[in-house]
A and B are shown apart, each in its own frame.
Chain A
Amino acid sequence: KNQVEQSPQSLIILEGKNCTLQCNYTVSPFSNLRWYKQDTGRGPVSLTIMTFSENTKSNGRYTATLDADTKQSSLHITASQLSDSASYICVVSPKEANYGGSQGNLIFGKGTKLSVKP
């Protein structure tokens, strides 16, 4: 069964510190993996998207890595800021054999809730 597991479930860090969020998946084969940031009370916003052939992708202080062999991805946040407090969701797209249908469904992790304290 296709699954995406994220850890930790929640994390508290001090402002200015770095942190790493984990995403393990069983989706195979897959097309791409994305990280979304979701502020409280808002919809998710895309941070990075990587295909299976990419190892790393950066977006400012956010750097995502992907190891397709071990089926693991991580999101590293450097020099955290109070505005980084949010939920971070890992999403994996199965490689569709046919256009449309359930094979086109995205597989969502439940997210990691990050709190950055002053």
Chain B
Amino acid sequence: DAGVIQSPRHEVTEMGQEVTLRCKPISGHNSLFWYRQTMMRGLELLIYFNNNVPIDDSGMPEDRFSAKMPNASFSTLKIQPSEPRDSAVYFCASSLWGVYNEQFFGPGTRLTVL
């Protein structure tokens, strides 16, 4: 298995632009998670899906952030408009089911907003 796949690996954009991060979970996993990691705050859970349905989005910082999972093999995290404080590494992870099973992380997308 290729593991969790994320794209792009690096993204540099200017303030105000729309940014879309993509994730392909491990085949057969029913839960998908989006995280943000910064030096100041560490890892933070933004949102997670079970069977493509958003279960908890309480970690999404603002309305500028949105996430979708149109099918079991694809999810997007969109930031519109982006701001410099959104600069971080964004990880996608998947698990067989739910928050408590072992989560397998992707390599992350390093986002820089100028």
Contacts and interface: CB of A to CB of B under 8 A. Distances in A.
Bind each other? yes
Interface of A: 31-32, 34, 41-46, 49, 89, 93, 96, 99-102, 104-106, 108-111
Contact of A105 (B4, B98, B99): B99
Dominant SS at the A interface? loop
* Most chain B CB inside 10 Å of its own CB: which residue of A32, A99, A108: A108
B14 interface: no
A44 B99 contact: no
Interface string B83-105: 00000000101000011101101
Nearest to A110: B42
B107 A104 contact: no
A101 B44 contact: no
12 contacts: A41-B107, A42-B108, A43-B4, A43-B93, A43-B105, A43-B107, A45-B105, A96-B99, A104-B56, A105-B56, A109-B42, A110-B41
B113 interface: no
